[in-house]
Amino acid sequence: MQHYVAHPAGATCGVIRVPGDKSISHRALMLGGVAEGVTEVRGFLESEDCLATMRAMRALGVNVEQPAPHEVRVHGVGLRGLKAAGRDLDVGNSGTAMRLMCGLLSGQRFDSVLIGDQSLMKRPMERVAAPLRLMGAKIETVEGKPPVRIGAATRPLSAIRYELPVASAQVKSAVLLAGLYGDGPTTTVEPAVTRDHTERMLLSFGCPLETGRGEARLTPPERLTACTLEVPGDFSSAAFFMVAGSIGGGEGLTITHVGVNPTRTGLLEILALMGADIRVVNHRSAGAEPVADIEVRPARLHGVRIPERLVPLAIDEFPVLFIAAACAEGETVVTGAEELRVKESDRIAVMANGLAAMGVECEVLRDGARIQGRPDGPAFAGGEIDSHGDHRVAMSFAVASLRAAAPIRIRDVANVATSFPDFPGVARQAGLDVRLGD
């Protein structure tokens, strides 16, 4: 089993760039696959999760070329051109791949079965199966979990207006993708704002879609038209370095070409409330998505009660936010974040265990945690923690090493490759001392 050893380095400095956005890379493959024409994607993330989606689309008959690093060319087969895979589609660790594929496959005239790794096979899938069933999809889970079996559609799906019970971009996206095969306009209504990459990209492919007041209304198009897409750096990967630059000593860091879609940047607001010194500069756009450079300087953070409205806008950033909280003066309180329990691991329990192992006081709540920070000197004792195969937990404890009294050994880190293939290399460029062991 792979592990990292992260030695206390203390100082961050330099200019770094993080790999492409995972959410956008998945969507580019799926929408490009059912568009007409060739979609060129630049800045594509070649991580295990996105490669799983690539394999699935290939198994469904889509030719995907990789002409150069971070570039893909998707030869779309049209909305009705996908073919039965003839075998189970294994999407590895990726919840996004599985849930979005459920939507896309619900409208196809062939059967499909979706499976994944040990972690994914335990994650809830009824949240997508239920609305898709309302649309007439023949979709079955096993006690709410994968394998997900999707029967051939024999007629167009029924258009629905669906009020999401949870704030989830994956559920919203699955319904919208199924809506491409609907008999009329499909509307999603979300209880809180979630990432809107699907909506933006559907528009880039020429799909009629209206958005506003938490609603997205998709009119089934005759076709999607191939386009050129530029994938910005993943805000969620940059997040590790926003916290690193804040809690470490030294000059701080600049992270270039980061996607700053406002439905993703809740961490910036939370860190600002905590007293961080972060500037977002050089705003520009990468097609439908806003991009900027992020300058981070070390700062004395203080604990806050995190506003619940920011939770969905920072949902993947909580593991590293727990690390920031452990370095802040006073208490940080997270509530309204029960969704963290159904991510790649139960992120409330796994982070709390890791923090406790590092000597940090952390009280577990049903829907969050209370973390007592130490603003001066080392905040973490060092020693060993188990990431439970969760990429973001592993990277978060690597960041913690900046304020550790002794090296941190992080177990079970192979899944970092699901989202951030060369994390140790980029981390070392930023001044951290993280190395892979066996």
Kindly state the tokens that stand for 198: 């699907």
* Minimum CB distance to ligand S3P smaller for 40 or for 316: 316
* Minimum CB distance to ligand S3P smaller for 293 or for 316: 316
* Minimum CB distance to ligand S3P smaller for 21 or for 293: 21
* Minimum CB distance to ligand S3P smaller for 97 or for 304: 97
CA 145 – CA 147 distance, rounded (Å): 6
Q: Please report, as residue ranges, which positions from 338 to 357 form the binding site for ligand S3P (by CB under 6 A).
A: 339
Residue with tokens 């909305």: 79
CA dist 8 → 16, 175, 244, 297, 399 (Å): 20, 46, 12, 18, 9
Q: Please report, as residue ranges, which positions from 16 to 75 form the binding site for ligand S3P (by CB under 6 A).
A: 23
Q: CB of 24: closest distance to ligand S3P in angstroms?
A: 8
CB 11 within 8 A of CB 250: yes
Residue with tokens 């590895």: 92
Task: State the catalytic residue, choosing from 117, 234, 293, 316.
Answer: 316
Kindly state the tokens that stand for 295: 């300058």
Q: Please report, as residue ranges, which positions from 237 to 296 form the binding site for ligand S3P (by CB under 6 A).
A: none
CB 419 within 8 A of CB 21: no
Choice from 90, 199, 316, 317 touching ligand S3P (CB under 6 A): 316
Number of residues that bind ligand S3P (CB under 6 A): 10
> Residue 160 burial by CB count (10 A; 0-12/13-18/19+): exposed, middle or buried?
buried
Q: CB of 145: closest distance to ligand S3P in angstroms?
A: 14
CA 160 – CA 139 distance, rounded (Å): 16
* Minimum CB distance to ligand S3P smaller for 173 or for 246: 173
Should residue 195 be labelled a site residue for ligand S3P when binding is judged by CB under 6 A?
Answer: yes
Choice from 50, 169, 327, 351 touching ligand S3P (CB under 6 A): 169
Q: CB of 93: closest distance to ligand S3P in angstroms?
A: 11
* Three-state SS annotation for 20-64: ECHHHHHHHHHHHHCCEEEEEEECCCCCHHHHHHHHHHHHCCCEE
Q: CB of 110: closest distance to ligand S3P in angstroms?
A: 25
Q: CB of 286: closest distance to ligand S3P in angstroms?
A: 17
Q: Applying CB under 6 A, which part among 167-175, 211-219, 266-274, 348-356 lies near ligand S3P?
A: 167-175
* Minimum CB distance to ligand S3P smaller for 175 or for 227: 175
CA 19 – CA 394 distance, rounded (Å): 17
Question: Residue 175: which of 149, 202, 155, 154 has the closest Cα?
Answer: 202
Q: Applying CB under 6 A, which part among 32-40, 109-117, 130-138, 165-173 lies near ligand S3P?
A: 165-173
Q: CB of 161: closest distance to ligand S3P in angstroms?
A: 19
Choice from 47, 168, 387, 401 touching ligand S3P (CB under 6 A): 168
* Minimum CB distance to ligand S3P smaller for 43 or for 298: 43
Q: CB of 419: closest distance to ligand S3P in angstroms?
A: 8
Q: Please report, as residue ranges, which positions from 92 to 121 form the binding site for ligand S3P (by CB under 6 A).
A: 96
Should residue 430 be labelled a site residue for ligand S3P when binding is judged by CB under 6 A?
Answer: no
CA 181 – CA 103 distance, rounded (Å): 10
- Compute the chain's Rg from CA coordinates: 21
CA dist 140 → 38, 60, 109, 137, 394 (Å): 33, 20, 16, 9, 33
* Minimum CB distance to ligand S3P smaller for 291 or for 402: 291
Binding mask 207-236 for ligand S3P (x = CB under 6 A): ------------------------------
Q: Does residue 316 have an active-site annotation?
A: yes
Should residue 387 be labelled a site residue for ligand S3P when binding is judged by CB under 6 A?
Answer: no
Q: CB of 99: closest distance to ligand S3P in angstroms?
A: 7
Q: Applying CB under 6 A, which part among 131-139, 169-177, 246-254, 375-383 lies near ligand S3P?
A: 169-177
Q: Is 327 helix (H, G, I), strand (E, B) or coil?
A: coil
- Buried b / exposed e over 207-225, threshold 16 CB at 10 Å, is bebeeeebebbbebeebbe
Identify the DSSP state of 339: G
Q: Dihedrals φ, ψ of 303, to 5°?
A: -65, 150
Longest dimension (CA), the chain: 64
Should residue 170 be labelled a site residue for ligand S3P when binding is judged by CB under 6 A?
Answer: yes
Q: Which residues are catalytic?
A: 316
Residues that bind ligand S3P (CB under 6 A): 23, 96, 168-170, 173, 195, 315-316, 339
